[in-house]
Amino acid sequence: MQMLRVSVWRGTEQGRYVDYEVPRQTSQTVLDVVTYIQRKLDSTLAYRYACRVGMCGSCAMTVNGVARWTCRTHVGAVADEGNRLQIAPLANLPVIRDLATDMREFFNKWTRAKGYYKGSRTRHDDFTAVKPASKEAQALQAGIECIGCGVCYASCDVVGWRTDYLGPAALNRAWTLLNDVRDATRSERLRAVAGDAGCLSCHTHISCTERCPKHLSPTASIAGLKRATVAAALNGEM
């Protein structure tokens, strides 16, 4: 039986890699490998997962230097010729222990980017008409499937060197809401994303788009925010 040589990050920020040997299996995912280690070799290994089928995003880790969903990453696609894997926690996030990261700041940035819906109508008002073919609806639909897995955030170089940068996920969320005709906080949201830590700090490296497991384009959403904030400034809305 072929064996995988797997180096797994253990500890917190000051941890180290520990090597394990795991039997190679057909159609084996990286999450299968991590689960085998935790169940068969070292029960103290900390990691996070839930659905195992690419719906929740909670199993995201760094595999051979690239942020990925481990449940959807097959070993055959990432192991090198020596059957070696390196598995680490997501970058740009504090490490709780081993492969589990603290996601609080990631989601706090969604709040700072006004990444929540706030309408103006009450239950006594009629529904707002949303035209699916409209430019706004198409822009909203292009980014709405984000599930907050953190892969784009971990892949973002700007987040790496500027910790207050809102990041691609929060900015993508802000862009979808900016295009929601039912939302009533356009000016407030534009001000939130226009500061030094907002959309204008994006260097358009496109890493977030290249690595998004949902095939979204936060880069395009951020570009939309850049255009919208500049237009609002020129029109005296900010």
Domain residue extents for the chain: 3-101, 104-234
Q: Which fold has domain 3-101?
A: Ubiquitin-like (UB roll) (3.10.20)
Q: What is the pLDDT of residues 79-99, one digit of tens each?
A: 988 899 999 999 999 999 999
pTM of the model: 0.94
The CATH superfamily label for domain 104-234 reads Alpha-helical ferredoxin (1.10.1060.10)
DSSP calls for the chain? --EEEEEEEESSTT-EEEEEEEE--TT-BHHHHHHHIIIII-TT-----S-SSSSS-TTEEEETTEEEETTS-BHHHH--TT-EEEEEPPTTS-EEETTEE--HHHHHHHHHTT-S--B---TTSPPPP--TTSHHHHHHHHHTT----SHHHHH-HHHHH-TT---HHHHHHHHHHHT-TTB--HHHHHHHHSSTTSGGG-----HHHHH-TT---HHHHHHHHHHHHHHHHHTT--
Q: What is the pLDDT of residues 176-223, one digit of tens each?
A: 999 999 999 999 999 999 989 999 999 999 999 999 999 999 999 999
Q: What is the pLDDT of residues 120-140, one digit of tens each?
A: 888 888 888 888 989 989 999
Q: Say what percent of the chain tops pLDDT 70.
A: 100
